Chains A and B, each alone.
Chain A
Amino acid sequence: MASSLLSLASASPSASLSSHGISKGKLNLGNTSLCFNKEKTNPFIKTKSFGRISMVITSNVSRFEGITMAPPDPILGVSEAFKADNHELKLNLGVGAYRTEELQPYVLNVVKKADKLLLERGENREYLPIEGLAAFNKVTAELLFGADNPVIKQQRVATVQGLSGTGSLRLAAALIERYFPGAKVLISSPTWGNHKNIFNDARVPWSEYRYYDPKTVGLDFEGMIADIKAAPEGSFILLHGCAHNPTGIDPTPEQWGIIADVIQEKNHIPFFDIAYQGFASGSLDTDAASVRMFVARGMEVIAAQSYSKNLGLYAERIGAINVVCSSPDAASRVKSQLKRIARPMYSNPPVHGARIVANVVGDPALFKEWNVEMEMMAGRIKNVRQKLFDSLSSKDKSGKDWSFVLKQIGMFSFTGLNKAQCDNMTNKWHVYMTKDGRISLAGLSLAKCEYLADAIIDSYHNVG
């Protein structure tokens, strides 16, 4: 160990042995220790920096000396840059958090009501079981699959509460790593940035299937099918249930059918990430259609859910992982193993968000109200899309087809702008977006559509 200490001390140029000095002057040379000063009461002795010293001293040098800064999160970086900008016309189209027309965060009324109910009840905060709140697990599966779905009636769904979409995906990834070692997950190109990080950290190999076609600013369906076909049998195919992030491009129902065909042919497992149920069309049921189609075919399906967007519960971290199995026995075994994965991650999930969702979804009156609010939020985004499209079409005389703005669905839109063009958006127009050309329509108001149209037209035509 002495040698590694040596290399630690010299590896980092900033290793300053003086910052809180050397305690007691003990010299550690492997197993020998020469004590110069046994005074317990002698605290840190401040010394001058020795620079790149190769003498090893039992010191307070951190053993994490060589650790560098982690790369900044690209999406959050956008918000930070936006905050630093003082321009009055600035626009934040970075992170996918819903904003009102006044561009304020929005707490759903049903959430406020549920919160109030919980506060009044003053319930205790005892540990949830490892798999989460039973009432939540029940309603979340019903919301996704439909309460009357045979898979639910036959108890063939293993549902475990997870920490939002991220946590639910991670549970599934760990399950895949443990029970399908070497199996690959196929993710769309592009996809949400954190997908690959999750699979990397869970040590699950992944590769991409073609998805976005920059030529059409639409779906490269042939490429997608070809790549899914080419994957080794028994791969996990990660699909966005609705409102694809970041492109906003969803397959049509017919295309979903063909995707299901190919997955069955190749004996793959469909793995849905549903982070926007309700936000795509405004209807919670309609947005679950793709998942339900696969399940109706008798396929075993993995599905991760999140309530971050559709109930605005970002901060509460509430979601679920569902594994639809061919038998209740399999579901019970799978559930037990998901619990076994969760226990050494966080023991049991947080209670508050689960109670809110259970109250909102489980209470018919609140559920109805939620449906209305969901329609309103999705409706606002649809209106904004329309206005943006109208502005683009009327202002741009080049004849370029901007209809992709209307065809894309959900919070995000892939504008087709390249990096240089995105930089122009930010530098010249103070429009903040991610460098892949994604804009978050949830951060756009009707009032700003014309300004945004100007910015997009300028960037598209006048920048390389």
Chain B
Amino acid sequence: MMIMWRYLRRGMSTSTRVRALRRSWWDHVTPAPKDPINAVTEAFLADPCPYKINLGVGAYRDDDGKPVVLQCVREAEGKIAATNFLESTCAAISSKLVEESAKLVYGEDSDVIKEGRFAGVQALSGTGACRLFAEFQRRFYPDSRIYMPDPTWSNHHNIWRDAQVPIRTFHYYHPDSKGLNFVALMDDVKNAPNGSFFLLHPCAHNPTGVDPSDEQWQEISSLFKVKNHFPFFDMAYQGFASGDLERDARAIRIFLDDGHLIGCAQSFAKNMALYGHRVGCLSLLCDDKIQAVAIKSQLQQIASTIYGSPPIHGMLAVSKILSDPDIKAIWLKEVKDMATRVQRMRATLKEALEKLGSPLNWQPITNQVGMFCFSGLTPDEVDRLAKEFHVYMTYDGRISMAGVTTKNVDYLASAIHEVTAFDQDGKILHTVCA
């Protein structure tokens, strides 16, 4: 102990020694609240129950409840030799990826692609793409705000808040109908100041699974034109809504046809099951190629102080998949298969609940689209599901249908049926057989 004291004392003045030993610089740092989505996974992982179900995070699972590695990804990785990378090679691959990604959004034959009228950069999946845009928005429109649907993915709020862009919400979900509150949505769009920035989910809305129809999208687009609003699309589930990538981009194509110069964040986390590789793209439509180059340079500069350049591994895989016709064909089929399984689970869950005699309306399960179902379950019910039935979901009642399998759907249905046995006033809605 004395030796340690002498060692510590060497080179330190008395006051600083005392200060250094006693005080921490970080006393005023409080524990951060847990991320609501990750907290579900954490709770799930900590649960020893063998028949627990994780319906939290939107990560696709196969019918055995296992994460998948797509065959197209394996093929792509097999073709990618371990090469010696020059830094310039990364840039070339990145450009290829951006070009192919843009084709998915805007259509292979669109004028925008042919004329190079878009600024595109690779981003750290959807989150990174949204954050790049938020920072860009702040830099070039410092007084602007972002309008987000209510509800939206919880991290959207964090992203624009950390980029210091004030947030407003617009009506979206109608809790009574468990569908779209279209009238209120259009009102909010109309009442927003001209030239406002709007965040839109083009398909498979997260968390509700409620998407506008094509006709409704057309009306929204027309109103946006009148109001000169800027539409920013966050497309995280292209392919997961209908199983068809082109179909799922329909909303964006409607806006494109109307002449909007949109922005779009894309993620390959879900539709290529590349979650951990963080591959996505941010594109902004421009007047012309010159402007596209200027905007791209600004986006790259913003990225250069957040992470430098994007990680190459996922970039290589995605680039290969999108540019190799054979591998791309495999991918398209795999996306369809994933979406189809989820759709089948929706139907099966609804059937199971109806078979149990639940008097509640479970139509929304099959009406809603994509990975998520907004079940309408209350926080108390969600709590009970976790504690009593070991079924985990976020407190807003969002169910990740990708976590439902033929093996667990019946158990899930009976768990939901059980916790919804009482309505808000404690009145028994139905009796549950033991």
- Given the interface pairs A97-B87, A105-B84, the reply to whether A345 lies near B128 with Cβ below 8 Å is yes
Candidates A43, A128, A198, A323; contact of B305 at CB < 8 Å: A198
- Verify A257–B11 contact, CB threshold 8 A: yes
Question: In the complex, what residues of B have CB within 8 A of residue A216's CB?
Answer: none
B363 within 8 A of A: no
Question: In the complex, what residues of A have CB within 8 A of residue B128's CB?
Answer: 345-347
Q: Complex formed: what's the CA distance from A167 to B311 in Å?
A: 12
Question: In the complex, what residues of A have CB within 8 A of residue B287's CB?
Answer: 15-16, 19-20, 60-62, 65
- Given the interface pairs A125-B276, A166-B305, the reply to whether A316 lies near B26 with Cβ below 8 Å is no
A202 within 8 A of B: yes
**Could you tell me which residues of chain A, from 332 to 372, have a CB within 8 Å of some CB in chain B?**
332-334, 336-337, 339-341, 343-353
Candidates A20, A67, A127; contact of B298 at CB < 8 Å: A67
Chain B's closest residue to A351 (CB) is: B276
Candidates B86, B225, B310; contact of A26 at CB < 8 Å: B225
B213 within 8 A of A: no
Chain B's closest residue to A63 (CB) is: B230
- Verify B276–A128 contact, CB threshold 8 A: yes
Interface residue total, chain A, C-beta cutoff 8 A: 107
- Verify B305–A170 contact, CB threshold 8 A: yes
**Could you tell me which residues of chain B, from 118 to 151, have a CB within 8 Å of some CB in chain A?**
124-125, 127-128, 131, 135, 140-141
Question: In the complex, what residues of A have CB within 8 A of residue B74's CB?
Answer: 122
- Verify A332–B297 contact, CB threshold 8 A: no
Binds A, one of B12-20, B242-250, B321-329, B391-399: B12-20
A447 within 8 A of B: no
- Given the interface pairs A333-B26, A345-B128, the reply to whether A264 lies near B308 with Cβ below 8 Å is no
- Given the interface pairs A43-B257, A69-B294, A170-B307, the reply to whether A336 lies near B32 with Cβ below 8 Å is yes
- Verify A345–B131 contact, CB threshold 8 A: yes
- Verify B31–A336 contact, CB threshold 8 A: yes
B346 within 8 A of A: no
- Given the interface pairs A24-B225, A67-B140, A297-B11, the reply to whether A202 lies near B305 with Cβ below 8 Å is yes
- Verify B291–A163 contact, CB threshold 8 A: no
Min CB–CB distance A58 → chain B (angstroms) = 6
Interface string of B225-241 (1 = CB under 8 A from A): 11010100000000000
B353 within 8 A of A: no
**Could you tell me which residues of chain B, from 253 to 281, have a CB within 8 Å of some CB in chain A?**
257-261, 269, 273-278
Candidates B24, B59, B140, B195; contact of A326 at CB < 8 Å: B24
- Verify B305–A60 contact, CB threshold 8 A: no
Question: In the complex, what residues of B have CB within 8 A of residue A16's CB?
Answer: 287-288
- Verify A126–B276 contact, CB threshold 8 A: yes
- Given the interface pairs A257-B11, A264-B20, the reply to whether A346 lies near B125 with Cβ below 8 Å is yes
Binds A, one of B154-162, B372-380, B421-429: B154-162
- Verify A125–B84 contact, CB threshold 8 A: no
Min CB–CB distance A49 → chain B (angstroms) = 12
Chain B's closest residue to A123 (CB) is: B69
Q: Complex formed: what's the CA distance from A106 to B111 in Å?
A: 42
Question: In the complex, what residues of B have CB within 8 A of residue A299's CB?
Answer: 20
Question: In the complex, what residues of A have CB within 8 A of residue B69's CB?
Answer: 122, 124-125
Question: In the complex, what residues of B have CB within 8 A of residue A347's CB?
Answer: 124-125, 127-128, 155, 278
Question: In the complex, what residues of A have CB within 8 A of residue B31's CB?
Answer: 332-333, 336-337
- Given the interface pairs A129-B38, A344-B162, the reply to whether A350 lies near B193 with Cβ below 8 Å is no
- Verify B307–A164 contact, CB threshold 8 A: yes
**Could you tell me which residues of chain A, from 113 to 147, have a CB within 8 Å of some CB in chain B?**
115, 119, 122, 124-130
Chain A's closest residue to B313 (CB) is: A352
B184 within 8 A of A: no
B105 within 8 A of A: no
**Which of the listed residues A2, A70, A197 has the most CB atoms from chain B within 10 Å of its own CB?**
A70
Min CB–CB distance A310 → chain B (angstroms) = 16
A33 within 8 A of B: yes
- Given the interface pairs A24-B225, A128-B276, A351-B277, the reply to whether A344 lies near B87 with Cβ below 8 Å is no
Q: Complex formed: what's the CA distance from A314 to B67 in Å?
A: 29
Q: Complex formed: what's the CA distance from A126 to B7 in Å?
A: 46
B88 within 8 A of A: yes
Question: In the complex, what residues of A have CB within 8 A of residue B202's CB?
Answer: none
A213 within 8 A of B: no
B194 within 8 A of A: yes
- Verify B306–A167 contact, CB threshold 8 A: yes
Question: In the complex, what residues of A have CB within 8 A of residue B20's CB?
Answer: 264, 297-299
**Which of the listed residues B31, B257, B293, B300 has the most CB atoms from chain A within 10 Å of its own CB?**
B31
Min CB–CB distance B56 → chain A (angstroms) = 12
Question: In the complex, what residues of A have CB within 8 A of residue B127's CB?
Answer: 343-347
Interface string of A206-231 (1 = CB under 8 A from B): 00000000000000000000000000
B114 within 8 A of A: no
Interface string of A255-272 (1 = CB under 8 A from B): 001001100110101000
- Verify B85–A105 contact, CB threshold 8 A: yes
Min CB–CB distance A23 → chain B (angstroms) = 4
- Given the interface pairs A43-B257, A347-B125, the reply to whether A58 lies near B307 with Cβ below 8 Å is no
- Verify B308–A167 contact, CB threshold 8 A: yes
Chain A's closest residue to B285 (CB) is: A62
A112 within 8 A of B: yes
Question: In the complex, what residues of B have CB within 8 A of residue A436's CB?
Answer: none
- Verify B261–A63 contact, CB threshold 8 A: yes
Min CB–CB distance B301 → chain A (angstroms) = 4
B218 within 8 A of A: yes
A201 within 8 A of B: yes
Question: In the complex, what residues of B have CB within 8 A of residue A2's CB?
Answer: 194
- Verify A194–B28 contact, CB threshold 8 A: no
Q: Complex formed: what's the CA distance from A49 to B304 in Å?
A: 36
Min CB–CB distance A164 → chain B (angstroms) = 6
Q: Complex formed: what's the CA distance from A343 to B36 in Å?
A: 12
B284 within 8 A of A: yes
- Verify B12–A330 contact, CB threshold 8 A: no
Min CB–CB distance A72 → chain B (angstroms) = 8
Chain B's closest residue to A107 (CB) is: B84
Q: Complex formed: what's the CA distance from A69 to B296 in Å?
A: 8
**Could you tell me which residues of chain B, from 30 to 82, have a CB within 8 Å of some CB in chain A?**
30-33, 35, 38, 57, 59, 67-69, 73-74, 77, 82
- Verify B24–A300 contact, CB threshold 8 A: yes
A68 within 8 A of B: yes
Q: Complex formed: what's the CA distance from A339 to B158 in Å?
A: 12
Question: In the complex, what residues of B have CB within 8 A of residue A315's CB?
Answer: 85, 87, 90, 309, 311-313
A4 within 8 A of B: yes
- Verify A1–B228 contact, CB threshold 8 A: yes
List 15 extra interface pairs beyond A104-B84, A170-B306, CB under 8 A: A1-B193, A5-B195, A24-B259, A62-B291, A105-B84, A128-B276, A163-B308, A164-B307, A314-B87, A334-B26, A340-B32, A343-B127, A345-B131, A347-B124, A350-B124
Could you name 15 residue pairs across A and B whose Cβ atoms are closer than 8 Å? A14-B291, A60-B260, A60-B287, A62-B287, A62-B291, A63-B195, A83-B88, A126-B276, A163-B306, A163-B308, A166-B305, A170-B307, A317-B311, A346-B127, A347-B278
In the complex, the 5 A-B pairs of residues with the closest C-beta atoms, listed nearest first = A351-B276, A163-B307, A315-B312, A23-B259, A1-B195
